[in-house]
Chain A
Amino acid sequence: MILILCDGDINSTSFMKYLDERSISYTLITPLKIINEIAIVDNLTSDGSVCIWQYQDLKINFNDVTGLYNSLHYIDIKYFSDFVVEDRAYVQNEWWAYLVYRINDFQNSINPITREVMSGVLYQYPFVYTTAYNNGFKIPKYYISHSIEEIRVLANQLQRYITKNTIYFDNNFKESNSINNDTIGLIEYIDGNVIFVHVVDNKIWTTIYRDGGTYPYKISESQETKCFELIQRLKLRVAELVFKQDANDLVLHYISAFPNWLKSDASYIPHIYKTLAAKLINK
């Protein structure tokens, strides 16, 4: 049995459509279902765990689950609005601490909740750029400062930049032309085509965005090796890496542990889903 944990995101929905079309069975669990409907009996001893989730007539014994596709990276606090305000974060943390254990205890989770996902650093560009740089990737220059005067000076130095109000990625890589009082981060804007790299364990698909369209693309073998090494270092099984292609090299812009498969060239998507399904069917 394949188990899919997701909150209705477009990627999981698209993957489930692929599974439906091929009559590959799976069970979908959403946060709402876990919180409101599912009964849990999860036993842990030093010899291993036995876990049963039950809702309505369906009994999910984790020993019968072959693969777990997880696109939850936290549980939104909106699900706990019935609790008094001061208890909401506590209940949210109890749930998340349980799910982190449950997802990670299962051997075939794609992706497990890694420590970088748990701490949130994987969503922060200083961490991602430092890690990527240490892995041999070229990265954009970036600055963080809480002094607006300093930010203005640095923006002048960079000339072309993307502004950020936090240290988190927000999927916005458009060039900015002004600084406002909330700006605390500047990322060097690099001209060039955008390249999406999607990785599933030891397989890689590269897509280039050019002239308003997407095309299959091939990066060098050494770049591919570096991508695999970076993903392994982060202990991820699936990932998305976004590059800008400048005159001489690839500049890494973004890493996600929750890939948007639909950013891949359309010809790749069935191959990606086939690979994912095969990994989830075989324990």
Chain B
Amino acid sequence: MIIIISNKQDKNSSILVTLLLTKRIEFQWITPDYVQSVYSDYTGYACIKLVDESVIDNVNNFFINRIPNLKADHPLIIFLYMIPYHNILTHPNVASILLSKLDQLKFFTSYPKTEILKNVKKTFTGNVCVKSISQVRSFVRQSDDIELVRSGLNYMPVQFQEVKYGLHIKSHVIGADVYSYCIQANTLDPRESDYKVYPYSTPNFVKKSLLKIASKICVNYFDCDMIITKENMFILEINSSPAPMVFAEESKDHTVVTRFIDFILKREYKVGI
């Protein structure tokens, strides 16, 4: 059975639930507070008992995990760790590979010039943005947001990245397929304003590049933000917990949805770590 694990507010999960109901595909949606206890033993078997006394095990189900941060000692997180990698989108251990936005740059062949500064005064020429380094409180701002820069620069490393102008593309890698969307927004970080999403036909060089990243990180399901200019593509970051349902709905293009369902039902998810 498909088990969706998320908070009730997660938009991607609620769209997916509607879809699975329409297609009459068996599933269960659980939130952290439904979990009463966990059991696990040395054979690799683990299960959770829910508040209604029903039991879900880690071997005979496929899990879609959309819980970003959970306290390490919550029974659910213990259980998530006990699920075999190929049985869960996204295993917490897989998510941790991409914890640092700087550490993930090593997987890309082309990215904007990036500089980390702390306790140093510098005037940049050209347009530069400030980005968080970790995935916690992820943000991108213009570097002329002086207060933000000042507040951090003396006691924490601050990431500055050259702003590239071009099309902002978000691509979803699902197995060997890539589905892309063009994001139009008035702010550097689309999440900070109203933005529009259009389906975008993935150029071959982009697809090739993303599949190369997939083989480097040994995961065939993730999304990637990039800027495509006339001459080049610059990868900004990748994310191990995509929300393809949200992009399908916002762009009114549902091709990705069919592929995603197929991907889960045929158990095509591969993790090589």
Contact A124 B133 (CB under 8 A): no
Q: Which of B78, B97, B105, B152 contacts A44 (CB 8 A)?
A: B105
Contacts of A91 in B (CB 8 A): 155-156
The B245-273 residues at the A interface (CB cut-off 8 A) are 273
Say whether, besides A126-B40, A143-B41, A101 and B102 are in contact (CB < 8 Å): yes
Say whether, besides A94-B133, A97-B100, A98-B102, A42 and B39 are in contact (CB < 8 Å): no
Report the minimal beta-carbon distance from B116 to chain A, rounded to whole angstroms: 4
Contact B40 A144 (CB under 8 A): yes
Contact A97 B103 (CB under 8 A): yes
**B134 within 8 A of partner (CB):** yes
Write the A95-128 contact mask toward B (1 if CB under 8 angstroms, else 0). Answer: 1111011001100000000011011110010110
Q: Count residues of chain A with CB under 8 A from any CB of chain B.
A: 49
Say whether, besides A39-B118, A146-B38, A121 and B109 are in contact (CB < 8 Å): no
Q: Count residues of chain B with CB under 8 A from any CB of chain A.
A: 52
**A93 within 8 A of partner (CB):** yes
Contact B37 A98 (CB under 8 A): no
Contact B81 A90 (CB under 8 A): no
A36 to B137 alpha-carbon distance, docked (Å): 23
**A177 within 8 A of partner (CB):** no
Contact A105 B39 (CB under 8 A): no
Contact A44 B103 (CB under 8 A): no
The B99-156 residues at the A interface (CB cut-off 8 A) are 99-103, 105-106, 108-111, 113-120, 122, 132-137, 152, 155-156
Report the minimal beta-carbon distance from B29 to chain A, rounded to whole angstroms: 22
**A85 within 8 A of partner (CB):** no
Contact A40 B38 (CB under 8 A): no
Q: Which of A115, A118, A143 contacts B40 (CB 8 A)?
A: A143
Contact B100 A100 (CB under 8 A): yes
**A139 within 8 A of partner (CB):** yes
Task: Give the interface of A toward B (CB within 8 A).
Answer: 35-36, 38-46, 82, 89-91, 93-98, 100-101, 104-105, 115-116, 118-121, 124, 126-127, 129-130, 133, 139-147, 150, 166-167
Task: Give the interface of B toward A (CB within 8 A).
Answer: 36-42, 44, 46, 49, 72-73, 75, 78, 81-82, 92-93, 95-97, 99-103, 105-106, 108-111, 113-120, 122, 132-137, 152, 155-157, 273
Pick 8 A–B contacts, CB within 8 A, sort by A: A40-B118, A41-B116, A82-B155, A93-B136, A105-B106, A141-B41, A144-B38, A144-B39
